[in-house]
Amino acid sequence: MKKGHIIGLGIIAVAITIIITSIGDASTYENFSSAKAMAVSGNEKAIHVVGELKKDHHGNVVGLKVNEDKTSFTFIMVDNDGYEQEVYYNEPVPADFVRSEQVVVIGSYKDEDTFVADKILMKCPSKYQETDIKASNS
């Protein structure tokens, strides 16, 4: 075998190894019920949960509690199955957090009652939403 073939096979083997190890790190979106079941079974891997902030009938966010030092906060999130869960985040409240349409929390259960988020991703209302433009016909 030529040196070029051996080097090429080595590069392919390294690429396959990288792909296989990265597949193990990929996570799926879960709901709070399955995330809690995973935590009870001993799985401490970070879990992605999609949902919305809990709002009252006027559309105002309820359950947002910012700690006195403003370096952490808790909020109530409702997952796509309608399950409400208190979420703790050890960072300041992100800008436009209460305006977000959808929230993805990445973290895990540290106890049975509280989901601890390591990271929060938000889908905020777009400032580029189409608006009605009325032109006057003269």
Q: What is the pTM of this model?
A: 0.69
Look at the alpha carbons of 89, 95, 101, 106 in this order and tell me if their dihedral is positive or negative: negative
Which of these ranges, 35-39, 87-91, 107-111, 127-131, has the smallest mean pLDDT?
127-131
Taking the chain, what is the end-to-end CA distance rounded to the nearest angstrom?
82
Q: Domain residues of the chain, as ranges?
A: 28-123
Q: Provide the pLDDT for residue 4.
A: 83
Structure tokens at 48: 């992605």
pLDDT band (50, 70, 90) for residue 116: very high
Q: What is the bridge-based pairing of β-strands 65-66 and 47-53?
A: unpaired
pLDDT digits (tens, 9 = 90+) for 51-95: 999 999 888 889 999 999 889 999 999 999 999 999 999 999 998
pLDDT digits (tens, 9 = 90+) for 13-31: 888 877 776 665 556 788 8
How many Cβ atoms sit within 10 Å of the Cβ of residue 8? 11
Is-contact 84 33, C-beta < 8 A? no
CATH architecture of 28-123: Beta Barrel (2.40)
